[in-house]
Amino acid sequence: MNWYLSLPSADAVVPCGKGSHTVRWSAGQLTLPGHPDAEAELVLGALGGDKPACITLAESWSRHADDLAVLTAGPRSRADQVTVTRQQIEEQRAQWRGTAVGSVPLRPGPAGSGGFGTGIGGAGTAGAGFGGGGPSAGTRPPTPAPRRMAVVSAAQRTARMTAGRMGGQDFLKRAQQRLEVLELLTLGPGFQFRLSGAVAAAWATAARAGDRGGQRPTLTAALTGRFAPAAAEWLGIDPDEVTVTPHEGDGWGTLAVTGAAGTRQLRACLPVNWLADVWACGFGVIDGHLVVGVAEPGFPRARILALPAPGADPVVLDVEAAEPAASAGSDVPRWSVSTAGR
Amino acid sequence: MSNESAETYLRQFAESLLRQVAGGRLTPDECSSRVRAVAAAFEGTGELDAGLADSVHGDVEVALAARSADAGTLMHLGRRAPISVRPGPPGVSRWLARSAGGPGGERNGSHEGSLRGIRVTPVGAVLRVRADATRADRTGDDDGDEDIYLLGFVARPGRAWLAVAARTNERPARRPASPRSSRGAGAKRRTPTTFAGGGMTAVDDAGQRYDLSFSGGGGEWYLGRLTLNPAPPAGLGRLDVRCGTESVRVDLTARARAVAVTTLPLAVGRAEAYLLRRAETLLTRPALATAEAAGMADVVPALRASGALAGDSPVPGQIAALCERLGTPGRVIAMPGRLPERWENFLAATGTRDGTGSGTGAGAEQLTWRTSPADASALDAARLAVALRAGDGIIIVLAGLITGTDGITIIFGGLYLGADPSAAAADADPAMWVRDDAGGWHSVSISGWSSDGNSGVTFQAVVVPPLSPATSEIEFHVTGSHRPAGPQAARQIRAVIPLEWWSAS
């Protein structure tokens, strides 16, 4: 079951060379319609030729497709506007150019771990496919291998950072990585949600169960930060009174509301893939139901698992994207319970 | 609280603040500083490793940058200084921490034995250099008289120095305002014969000659140390200190008077100790009170949530009372309680009442002080020769005390890495206080320092309010930083030190 099947494709236009090109997200893949032979261009770049900006961007997408920094920086809800612009990124890069940062070049991820390859998007779109988290119809590895934060346990991470205390090159490298994440967020809300979903999906796999333990605080905050606005919309509860912890194991998780009106607290336990399956696809709250899982992903119709009220058992609902024609190619779909499902 | 729990709390706290920023109820700067305050508290109490504290705060900075229309916001990415567990500028302890092998600094050589071999000897001598004796070396119109007070002698393996306060009317040859080192003199240059000219030398009882190079600063008075070059052997009996044709003999066999040292509980646990340390910063820097109160309002519940701070701890109430006294609402922290006697006494002595008083040489909002006597007349000086373990891997040396006739007291000393340098890896300077024999409390704040080799610094510290030359005995209280590993983390050292005053006049 692929989380991204509940999302339409999304396009963004980015400057590339002397013009601009479209980058497209479709079925979990980032593709470059303007660069049908991206792999060859990458080779040329490695041999000293200019690397097109689209290629660099796609490489960056691949590198950060399992980077939890995307979740700490990215949007928490539809109303949370991430407004960083390409101009800001360029100005920052210009500031750094000619400084020591120049000695920390961006490099593509290691072979086999970044998911670069000539791909065919799930929808049959020609172009180069770049990472996305989760199985796909392309030829790239289905799931990015752990990198950066992924490969180190919390203890290792702590030791590494404490030892360096962000000195010198580590400091700059980290700043560079953060700038890459921000650059990806400049692609707009549609890509922000999709990249966040990819990261969550990458961390939700069974293969990463061990790694999740080391990133529990970050995952807890990522879940809470995105679930709390939905819970507030659902119940009118103060989002500061909502806490979500990662759920491991079978089932959708648990949810409990305690306290009287005005002092209510909500404690939930949800799997990390709630972020990909539900939140990134715009499900959240649909017609008074809090969505806790997806039974059958799809676009413009899907089947979800939702709570009508605290303490109630989840119900299965068929939902459809509002104005599917308008949703296609846009940011994140809005859903409603389909007439047939009522 | 484990690292995981503390990090979870901090990240959840950050999520809450980010929601407020998104809702326009909080500015990005407020969000960042509040996260930083809690991160620093968790770090300072050992609830969260420094790297993780930095990392979480860094993530928040990136999240804020992603939502900022200000292009300059991105300039902060990854470039902010590491979190300090204490407000204000980094102090000498950070330098020491770096020397101990922390980030951004590497040590050359070993510090081992530096504690075991340290020796402090009281000195009380004045070397007077008169202009008519050194006229050939003069370049200005000043009268050129110099009075060089030698206050104490500190020796450790490979290094030795004399604490010095020197009045000179002659400007140093070069800026910054520091007499130049004799080592910098050219081979063909005429031998300097003044303190300001770098003409200090010494000869020991075995006939060995030393150049004395000055480190420090000042105005009418130059305060600092004279380092012996080359390093003398252990067990010097005396030094004949010379400047031009003048000399004075310094007896190095004198023993410091007995000092009674006791260890006192500072607080119940690391969290209380941490909060008290932060609060005491406000006593000498009341302008920080408003920002500090805001931070404490987040820090106190965070430390309570972590279990590090008991729910019935009186410390939050004390800090709230202090903030109220300094004119800042403290009720955001806790219901104001009763001020500790030391704080009450200090505030009364410095005139900082209800935020409207005028501290020593200060306005209502900021307690300030001079860092050097402004009066060029004679000093009163006291022999002070003590070495103490601060309880966090740092050794504190006290090597002299002066009180200017214009009412300013300076303590000369040094901070050295002890046997366990890793324990000194903290950002906070030791908190130092003096209690006089009349019961009055005086803050001791480092106002100038310079490195002494790769494992120590020498410092001058201002005592506020100044000590009267009638003081016959002081209690010197020092509290180290609060790294969790040390069993003395929440303790303070008290040394009862008799003062023997002397004067050149």
Look at B393 and A109; give whichever has higher pLDDT.
B393
Alpha helices by DSSP H, listed for B45-91, are 50-66
Query: Is B124 in the same domain as B107?
Result: no
**Whether the predicted interface score ipTM is above 0.90:** no
pLDDT above 80 for A254: yes
**Closest chain B CA to residue A163:** B103
Enumerate the residues of chain A whose CB falls inside 8 A of the CB of residue B78.
166, 171-172, 174-176, 178
- The answer to whether B67 contacts chain A (CB < 8 Å) is yes
Across the beta sheet with B146-156, the strand order is B119-129, B146-156, B159-168, B221-229, B209-218, B200-204, B238-243, B246-251
Query: Is B247 in the same domain as B289?
Result: no
Which pTM value belongs to this model? 0.76
* Residue at B484 is within a domain: yes
Query: Is B325 in the same domain as B439?
Result: no
- What pLDDT sits at residue B355? 38
- What pLDDT sits at residue A147? 32
- Among B1, B19, B34, B106, which would you mutate to test the A interface (most chain A Cβ atoms within 10 Å of its Cβ)? B19
* Residue at B9 is within a domain: yes
Query: Is B239 in the same domain as B288?
Result: no
Considering B293, B318, B350, which residue would you say is the last residue of a domain?
A: B350
* Residue at B271 is within a domain: no
Question: Using CB atoms, which residue from B66, B71, B104 is nearest to A167?
Answer: B104
C-alpha dihedral, B463 to B465 to B469 to B474, nearest 10°? -60
| CB atoms A165 and B63 under 8 Å | no
Query: Is B127 in the same domain as B245?
Result: yes
- What pLDDT sits at residue B455? 79
- The answer to whether B82 contacts chain A (CB < 8 Å) is yes
| CB atoms B15 and A81 under 8 Å | no
* Residue at B363 is within a domain: no
Total domains present in chain B: 4
Enumerate the residues of chain A whose CB falls inside 8 A of the CB of residue B71.
87-88, 91-92
* Distance between B16 CA and the closest CA of chain A, angstroms: 6
Question: Using CB atoms, which residue from A162, A176, A221 is nearest to B49?
Answer: A162
**Residue corresponding to tokens 């500090």:** B292
Question: Using CB atoms, which residue from B11, B51, B82 is nearest to A218?
Answer: B11
**Residue B438 contacts residue B470 (beta carbons within 8 Å):** no
Question: Using CB atoms, which residue from B52, B66, B71 is nearest to A73?
Answer: B66
| CB atoms A221 and B11 under 8 Å | yes
Rg of chain A in Å (alpha carbons): 20
Domain that holds residue B325: 279-350
Question: Using CB atoms, which residue from B55, B74, B103 is nearest to A88?
Answer: B74
Question: Cβ-count burial of A260 within 10 angstroms (0-12 exposed, 13-18 middle, 19+ buried)?
Answer: exposed
| CB atoms A185 and B65 under 8 Å | no
Give B248's strand partners. B241
- Among A87, A170, A178, which would you mutate to test the B interface (most chain B Cβ atoms within 10 Å of its Cβ)? A178
pLDDT above 70 for A242: yes
Question: Cβ-count burial of A111 within 10 angstroms (0-12 exposed, 13-18 middle, 19+ buried)?
Answer: exposed
Query: Is B247 in the same domain as B140?
Result: yes
* Residue at B491 is within a domain: yes
Query: Is B458 in the same domain as B391?
Result: yes
**Closest chain B CA to residue A96:** B75
Query: Using CA atoms, how far apart are residues A88 and A70, in angstroms rounded to an integer?
Result: 18
* Distance between A148 CA and the closest CA of chain B, angstroms: 14
Query: Is B337 in the same domain as B420?
Result: no
Query: Is B418 in the same domain as B499?
Result: yes
Q: What is the mean pLDDT of residues A45-62?
A: 87
The pLDDT profile of chain B, 505 residues, written as one tens digit per residue, is 578 999 999 999 999 999 999 999 999 988 998 999 999 999 888 899 988 998 999 999 999 999 987 655 554 554 444 444 443 334 555 556 555 544 333 333 333 333 457 899 999 999 998 876 555 554 444 457 889 999 999 999 889 999 999 988 765 444 333 444 544 444 455 677 788 888 899 999 999 999 999 988 877 788 999 999 999 998 899 999 999 889 999 999 988 788 888 888 777 888 998 898 888 888 877 887 888 888 899 999 999 999 999 999 999 999 999 999 998 889 999 999 999 999 999 999 987 644 333 333 333 344 455 666 766 677 899 999 999 887 667 789 999 999 987 788 999 999 888 765 555 444 456 789 999 999 999 999 888 888 888 778 999 999 999 999 999 999 999 886 545 444 445 578 899 999 999 977 5
- The answer to whether B358 contacts chain A (CB < 8 Å) is no
- The answer to whether B362 contacts chain A (CB < 8 Å) is no
Query: Is B379 in the same domain as B468?
Result: yes
**DSSP string covering B402-466, please?**
EEETTTEEEEEEEEEE-S-GGGG--SPPPEEEEEETTS-EEEEEEEEEEE-TTSEEEEEEEEESP
- What pLDDT sits at residue B93? 58
Output A167-174 pairs: Cβ under 8 A, ≥24 positions apart.
Answer: A167/B103, A167/B104, A168/B104, A169/A103, A169/A104, A171/B78, A171/B79, A172/A100, A172/A101, A172/A103, A172/A104, A172/B78, A173/A104, A174/B58, A174/B78
Question: Using CB atoms, which residue from A158, A175, A181 is nearest to B51?
Answer: A158
**Residue B383 contacts residue B152 (beta carbons within 8 Å):** yes
Asked if omega into A300 is within 30° of 0 (cis), the reply is yes
* Residue at B497 is within a domain: yes
Query: Is B148 in the same domain as B99?
Result: no
Query: Is B315 in the same domain as B334?
Result: yes
Identify the CATH number of the domain in which residue B227 sits: 2.60.40
